Structure 1
Amino acid sequence: MAKNTSLYFRIVEGRNLPAKDVSGTSDPYCIVKVDNEVVARTATVWKNLNPFWGEEYTLHLPMGFHSLSFHVMDEDTIGHDDVIGKITLTKEAIGAQAKGLDCWLNLTKVDPDEEVQGEIHLGLELLKDTEKISLRCQVIELKICAVILSFVFSGKLGALRLKVRLVEDQILPSMYYQPLIDLLVDALTMLEEVTTVESRQDMAMTLVKIYLGQGLVVPFLDYLNTREVNHTTDPNTLFRSNSLASKAMEQFMKAVGMLYLHEVLKPIINRIFDEKKYIELDPCKIDLNLSEAEVRDSSVEMLQSYLTSIIESIVSSVDQCPPVMRVAFKQLHKRVEEQFTEPENEDVKYLAISGFFFLRFFAPAILTPKLFQLRDQHADTRTSRTLLLLAKALQSVGNLGLQLGHGKEQWMAPLHPIILRSVASVKDFLDKLIDIDHDTVPQRAVFMASVTVKEGFLHKHKAEGPQLLSRFAFKKRYFWLTSETLSYAKTPDWQVRSSIPIQCVCAVERVDENAFQQQNVMQVITQDNDGQLHTTYIQCKNVNELNQWLSAIRKVSIYNERMLPSFHPGVHRSGKWTCCLQADRAVAGCSRTHSAVTLGDWSDPLDPDVETQTIYKQLLQGKDKLRLVPEHVLDGAECTVQQMKPCQGIAARLLVVIEDLEQAHATFQRREKEDVTSVIMNP
């Protein structure tokens, strides 16, 4: 029975942080560590003592851990970054909360003596004589890799709002989950009844992954959407709640459409960040030192330019949109058209699609591009305001301009003409979007082998040899990662590429900072047909990029047969390894590998067993509610005589399946304990 440990954490915001800069403010960011290893770094929020980050991460861990810590730092352009404070949570503290932690926690002072990081190389020798046995210990080498500098600060350090949840699952063999999978379609209605609103998003994502893996995601979404449409009498409220159907569509778009979203929005988002224009339409917020008329006129001109570019990029992207996404929207269009046939509801079939497409997909990405991986950093105050105004305008575009003039923000009126002019092109775009043959679209293989999983500029060490120490030995190259190769070239347009076959990868690990006197270096270790190991050293620009590339390469190589159990975190220089001082270049590694330590994201491979285990746990928590579900209710309506018999058995069958899985888990756990006891008794 496989074990699956996942650590979910969201760094929401900070409050009342101390001022570390002479300007009376700070530039805070967070570093997240698991057992003293950095796994994430938030963006810096400039000049803010109450920063909002809203960044969330999922870390998949093959083995246990001891603690999770959050260090709040103040970024300085000159000298060392200042430490503000930290929060440390033990695994036991996190695991004690079944639903996870969601609260404000006060920062505590960082003790520099506890934060020294480094390596110590010891020589141990067992000495025996006729009378006693003794152990000789000799310190051969001591390396201090980093010391966190802390300045004395009197007073409170502020607080962080964190959401942390630990999930430790025992994954049963696939055959044990099949009865639950077979029953899921009939049980979808009850899933919504027994789950909480808070857990509905996780449930929706899990179901989407299961049905993507089975090639049934379109029928699954069609079932939920049909039920939602049929139960809606007022078209103005259609998909406006946080129902399972709404959440499933949101998660589906993220699962299959993120590459598409990047292709459509990234150029214009980059332009907005680069130009950093001062834009404001609200008279109450215009700088009093500037001419209100001039600011308004220039703002309208720039917003019209940006908004036009965004709309044109979206409405010309029919062929870029993933086919399975188009088919799902086609089915939704059909169901809405069948339900709302009145002439006055002619636009509802468009609004149903644009509500998801514009309001729940593109507009949120424009508002917070960092959270959609469109940018590495959060927007500054000026750019953030521009993005907010554009997101508001795009929401009006998604509403087909029907709400214009009815809100409180009348100062948005200068953008109304361009919004109204876009309605016809948006409708035409939606008509073309759903003009697709359902039968020709593969629904199972969302992430094809040839699809680029990750790409971007990195720095590659040009060769092993005499120049190993030189920082200039790292050359800038553009990398592409697919499930088949890790390739690179001088530029994205360069015709000649070098490639590393993914099937040859046997480890992807960090490199000690002192190896090259450089930060954020990783190594990709491959094995050729003769069994020889080869190492490629690659430097990333920051710790987040390092973790993302480590995770991405590990995911595509995780099922390789020749993965190494250990590696050298240093380099072989001057006749010895810098990490363990062994002379033999071919000696086994001195540190264990982390091949299964990965960050969770939208491009994760589908694992039906893990996803079904999540559904089982949700149902297990709602088992008491399930017993109370009326047996004569089907989809919220009275059963007919013909419907009564199959309807009556769903809840009872679900309870039987849940109890069978409970029993299977108990049996496997008992066997594991017996095996451990046997090993102890018979070493």
Structure 2
Amino acid sequence: MSERVDLWNNGNLVQDVFLGEIKVPVKVLRNDSFQAWYLLQPKENGNKSSKTDDLGSLRLNICYTEDCVLPSEYYTSLRNLLLKSSDVQPISASAAYILSEVCRDKYDAVLPLVRLLLHHHKLVPFVAAVAELDLKDTQEANTIFRGNSLATRCVDEMMKIVGKHYLKVTLKPVIDEICESPKPCEIDPIKLKEGDNVESNMDNLRYYVDKVFREIVQSSISCPTLMCDVFYSLRHLAAKRFPNDPHVQYSAVSSFVFLRFFAVAVVSPHTFHLRPHHPDAQTSRTLTLISKAIQTLGSWGSLTKSKLSSFKETFMCEFFKTFQEEKFTESVKKFLDDVSSTESKEPSGLSEPVHLKEGEMYKRAQGRTRIGKKNFKKRWFCLTSREFTYHKQQDKEPIFTIPIKNILAVEKLDENSFNKKNMFQVLHGEKPLYIQANNCVEASEWIEALCRVTRCNQKRLSFYHPSAFLNGSWLCCKATVESSVGCARCTADVPADTQIEIDGDRETERIYSLFTINRSKLQKLEEACGSIAVYQGPRKEPDDYSNFTIEDSVATFHTLKQIIDVVEKLNESHEKYQKKRSSSAKYGSEENPIVGKVS
């Protein structure tokens, strides 16, 4: 196994130049003092470098680390301390916030923290709490959520994790078109090549921008539930902070979904797995211009005449004069309303029910207590943006209708329920509707479609029964009360391929490692709290703790003591576990593997 390392000239984001690549065998990284020079090679796939003979050489400094993850019970105290962070008042005195304070690079802390909170369904309240703290220091509404604070980085990381599928279904088709059948779009007079027609290029750019913009503003139905929940919180916090500004509730959301999500994905599609390779220079330039346009279109109220004069590039100002139509602003407003609402809404710009999916499947008769083939009837199912219905035949009046707003969950059904494969259930307050699709692909498509259209329903269930209620009990948990709370956590609130595998223990171990590495800063922060308490407020020259956020020295000090105590206990556990493993585990086993011998 080997790792590929690409070398690019990234002096300017618009003009990234591929210089060469190397492949490094992973096994050599386990050697403590391995040193070697590698000749850069041409790219095997994608765009080839102009030089194919002598590409120079590359010196790498690579660090190889191994996480020693203990059994889950060892992390209970630290995990609980982190998970209750959103309940701590003030939030700056919480363990999660302190982690970001002591790490030199906030990104080191944000990645494992977001994944851990996401895994335990605690991310939304934490983001709301740190965003509220962020807003306290925001004096101007037009600068809301524009910096790299803990709040903005948490939202950025969350969007990267849960928004992959959203980007795929929204942008990938149009990004593929731009990259595979590129049209010249350069409109900067200085960068025009001989023979280029600026009017034709502007038309091409307008075509791409219109297409990307249209795909985005009509995509609200695909926006993951978690993103909608976060945007809802940010919107209302912003409106509370600036009550006299009617536009801030929109700019609070657009600063993330347009500026930090869609615009970034457009300019770097390879980073978000929308394209397999970095685009060539001309395509990269086209994507950059489109990204700039999307940022501007997504900024609330940015298309006014006064804003057009603020463009740094005159050619961009001329280009955007063609977008001075109220329909663009209204489309953005409608889209932002849709993705930051807790109520189920229809796709942007559509007032009539939208037909989403239909097909023939089998429905089990509701309320039947016995298992039998006669209980399954072939029916025609139809899903629109307003209701889910089934009919005896296509084009006939519906036999049964479920309003979309009444659907509480859509989940797979265990095969052992009726000894049938490819079944799923629609929970809607009455008897569960059990449906058998014709194959596994069809079942997944129906589940995904139903989950998307119900993603903003306020009364979504958190738990469900994966099996049926038959002969007086649930087959899954043996509960005898039909109305009992489900025994399994709902998993299908987002499309299947947005589900991510998170090892909560590994993420907690990484956070423990960060606290251990930054032990000296924990002590400095502890001393700062003591100093503030003694002097009844910050001293005039707080050099030792001027970079720390300490709103409540007593509460912060209390959390710090808990963190240090938990870290010390984990240190002892690591030492004991390592000694026990090395003395009792057989060399070459999973507990005591051979290091550096496997390629």
TM-score for the superposition, normalised by structure 1: 0.53
> For residues 352 and 82 of structure 1, do their structure 2 counterparts lie closer, same or farther at Cα, with a shift above 3 Å needed?
closer
> For residues 10 and 298 of structure 1, do their structure 2 counterparts lie closer, same or farther at Cα, with a shift above 3 Å needed?
same
1:622-633 alignment runs, 5 A limit: 622-629=518-525, 630-631=528-529
Instruction: Tell me, in whole angstroms, the C-alpha distance in 2 between the residues paired with 1:676 and 1:348.
Output: 60
Query: Where does residue 394 of structure 1 map in the other structure?
Result: 294
How far apart are residue 64 of structure 1 and its match?
A: 12
How far apart are residue 648 of structure 1 and its match?
A: 3.4
Amino acid at match of 2:69: I
Instruction: Tell me, in whole angstroms, the C-alpha distance in 2 between the residues paired with 1:212 and 1:409.
Output: 41
How far apart are residue 284 of structure 1 and its match?
A: 0.6
| Contact 2:185/2:286 (<8 A) preserved | yes
Of 244, 252, 259 in structure 2, the residue corresponding to residue 352 of structure 1 is: 252
Amino acid at match of 2:225: P
| Contact 2:263/2:295 (<8 A) preserved | yes
Query: Where does residue 73 of structure 1 map in the other structure?
Result: 41
How far apart are residue 397 of structure 1 and its match?
A: 1.7
| Contact 1:9/1:162 (<8 A) preserved | no
Unaligned 5+ segments in structure 1 are 1-5, 16-25, 38-58, 85-150, 451-494, 500-600
Query: Where does residue 100 of structure 2 map in the other structure?
Result: 192
Of 25, 46, 50 in structure 2, the residue corresponding to residue 34 of structure 1 is: 25
C-alpha distance after superposition, 1:326-357 (max 9, x if no partner): 01100110111111112xx3222211211111
Instruction: Tell me, in whole angstroms, the C-alpha distance in 2 between the residues paired with 1:7 and 1:651.
Output: 42
Query: Where does residue 290 of structure 1 map in the other structure?
Result: 195
1:262-277 alignment runs, 5 A limit: 262-277=168-183
> For residues 433 and 496 of structure 1, do their structure 2 counterparts lie closer, same or farther at Cα, with a shift above 3 Å needed?
closer
C-alpha distance after superposition, 1:419-469 (max 9, x if no partner): 44322211111012122259x99xxx9x9989xxxxxxxxxxxxxxxxxxx
| Contact 1:332/1:353 (<8 A) preserved | yes
Corresponding residue SS for 1:30: strand
Amino acid at match of 1:380: D
| Contact 2:135/2:238 (<8 A) preserved | yes
| Contact 2:112/2:507 (<8 A) preserved | yes
| Contact 2:186/2:198 (<8 A) preserved | yes
Instruction: Tell me, in whole angstroms, the C-alpha distance in 1 between the residues paired with 2:114 and 2:44.
Output: 43
Of 331, 348, 355 in structure 2, the residue corresponding to residue 425 of structure 1 is: 331
| Contact 1:222/1:331 (<8 A) preserved | yes
Amino acid at match of 2:242: F
Instruction: Tell me, in whole angstroms, the C-alpha distance in 1 between the residues paired with 2:23 and 2:155.
Output: 31
1:613 matched to 2:509? The reply is yes
How far apart are residue 159 of structure 1 and its match?
A: 4.0
| Contact 1:222/1:332 (<8 A) preserved | yes
Instruction: Tell me, in whole angstroms, the C-alpha distance in 1 between the residues paired with 2:3 and 2:513.
Output: 16
1:414 matched to 2:318? The reply is yes
How far apart are residue 299 of structure 1 and its match?
A: 1.5
Instruction: Tell me, in whole angstroms, the C-alpha distance in 2 between the residues paired with 1:75 and 1:615.
Output: 37
> For residues 329 and 364 of structure 1, do their structure 2 counterparts lie closer, same or farther at Cα, with a shift above 3 Å needed?
same
> For residues 318 and 83 of structure 1, do their structure 2 counterparts lie closer, same or farther at Cα, with a shift above 3 Å needed?
closer
How far apart are residue 269 of structure 1 and its match?
A: 0.8
The structure where strand makes up a greater share of residues is 1
Corresponding residue SS for 2:64: strand
Query: Where does residue 123 of structure 2 map in the other structure?
Result: 217
Instruction: Tell me, in whole angstroms, the C-alpha distance in 2 between the residues paired with 1:256 and 1:229.
Output: 25
> For residues 209 and 380 of structure 1, do their structure 2 counterparts lie closer, same or farther at Cα, with a shift above 3 Å needed?
same
Amino acid at match of 2:113: L
Instruction: Tell me, in whole angstroms, the C-alpha distance in 1 between the residues paired with 2:550 and 2:318.
Output: 48
1:366 matched to 2:269? The reply is no
Corresponding residue SS for 2:104: coil
| Contact 2:6/2:20 (<8 A) preserved | no
Instruction: Tell me, in whole angstroms, the C-alpha distance in 2 between the residues paired with 1:277 and 1:678.
Output: 60
| Contact 1:405/1:413 (<8 A) preserved | yes
Query: Where does residue 565 of structure 2 map in the other structure?
Result: 656
1:323 matched to 2:231? The reply is no
Q: CA RMSD in A?
A: 4.3
| Contact 2:69/2:505 (<8 A) preserved | yes
How far apart are residue 10 of structure 1 and its match?
A: 6.2
How far apart are residue 608 of structure 1 and its match?
A: 0.4
Corresponding residue SS for 2:146: coil
C-alpha distance after superposition, 1:172-221 (max 9, x if no partner): 11111121122121212212210112xx2232121111111111121121
C-alpha distance after superposition, 1:146-186 (max 9, x if no partner): xxxxx7x6xxx524476744231110111111211221212
Corresponding residue SS for 2:21: strand
| Contact 1:75/1:82 (<8 A) preserved | no
Corresponding residue SS for 1:13: strand
Instruction: Tell me, in whole angstroms, the C-alpha distance in 2 between the residues paired with 1:193 and 1:673.
Output: 36
Instruction: Tell me, in whole angstroms, the C-alpha distance in 1 between the residues paired with 2:69 and 2:44.
Output: 46
> For residues 267 and 226 of structure 1, do their structure 2 counterparts lie closer, same or farther at Cα, with a shift above 3 Å needed?
same
Query: Where does residue 8 of structure 2 map in the other structure?
Result: 13
| Contact 1:12/1:162 (<8 A) preserved | no
Of 379, 398, 404 in structure 1, the residue corresponding to residue 308 of structure 2 is: 404
1:530-609 alignment runs, 5 A limit: 604-609=500-505
| Contact 1:327/1:434 (<8 A) preserved | yes
How far apart are residue 676 of structure 1 and its match?
A: 6.4
| Contact 2:8/2:18 (<8 A) preserved | no
Unaligned 5+ segments in structure 2 are 11-16, 86-93, 345-403, 414-437, 443-496, 538-547, 589-599
C-alpha distance after superposition, 1:461-511 (max 9, x if no partner): xxxxxxxxxxxxxxxxxxxxxxxxxxxxxxxxxx98899xxxxxxxxxxxx
| Contact 1:280/1:299 (<8 A) preserved | yes
Higher-RCO chain (CA-CA 8 Å, sequence separation at least 6)? 2
C-alpha distance after superposition, 1:82-129 (max 9, x if no partner): 997xxxxxxxxxxxxxxxxxxxxxxxxxxxxxxxxxxxxxxxxxxxxx
| Contact 1:73/1:82 (<8 A) preserved | no
C-alpha distance after superposition, 1:382-403 (max 9, x if no partner): 2121111111111112323535
> For residues 75 and 177 of structure 1, do their structure 2 counterparts lie closer, same or farther at Cα, with a shift above 3 Å needed?
closer
1:240 matched to 2:146? The reply is yes
How far apart are residue 298 of structure 1 and its match?
A: 0.8
Amino acid at match of 2:502: L
Corresponding residue SS for 1:171: coil
| Contact 1:73/1:83 (<8 A) preserved | no
> For residues 661 and 448 of structure 1, do their structure 2 counterparts lie closer, same or farther at Cα, with a shift above 3 Å needed?
farther
Amino acid at match of 2:234: L
> For residues 191 and 311 of structure 1, do their structure 2 counterparts lie closer, same or farther at Cα, with a shift above 3 Å needed?
same
> For residues 11 and 242 of structure 1, do their structure 2 counterparts lie closer, same or farther at Cα, with a shift above 3 Å needed?
farther
The structure where helix makes up a greater share of residues is 2
Amino acid at match of 2:71: P
- Percent identical: 29
Instruction: Tell me, in whole angstroms, the C-alpha distance in 1 between the residues paired with 2:297 and 2:63.
Output: 37
Instruction: Tell me, in whole angstroms, the C-alpha distance in 2 between the residues paired with 1:625 and 1:618.
Output: 11
C-alpha distance after superposition, 1:254-307 (max 9, x if no partner): 1111111111101111111232212211111111x226xxx2111111111111
Of 70, 80, 98 in structure 2, the residue corresponding to residue 172 of structure 1 is: 70
C-alpha distance after superposition, 1:568-609 (max 9, x if no partner): xxxxxxxxxxxxxxxxxxxxxxxxxxxxxxxxx996511000
C-alpha distance after superposition, 1:53-84 (max 9, x if no partner): xxxxxx9x9x999899966323699xx99997
Instruction: Tell me, in whole angstroms, the C-alpha distance in 2 between the residues paired with 1:69 and 1:650.
Output: 48
Query: Where does residue 227 of structure 1 map in the other structure?
Result: 133
Amino acid at match of 2:567: I
Amino acid at match of 1:190: I
Instruction: Tell me, in whole angstroms, the C-alpha distance in 1 between the residues paired with 2:299 and 2:59.
Output: 34
1:299 matched to 2:205? The reply is no
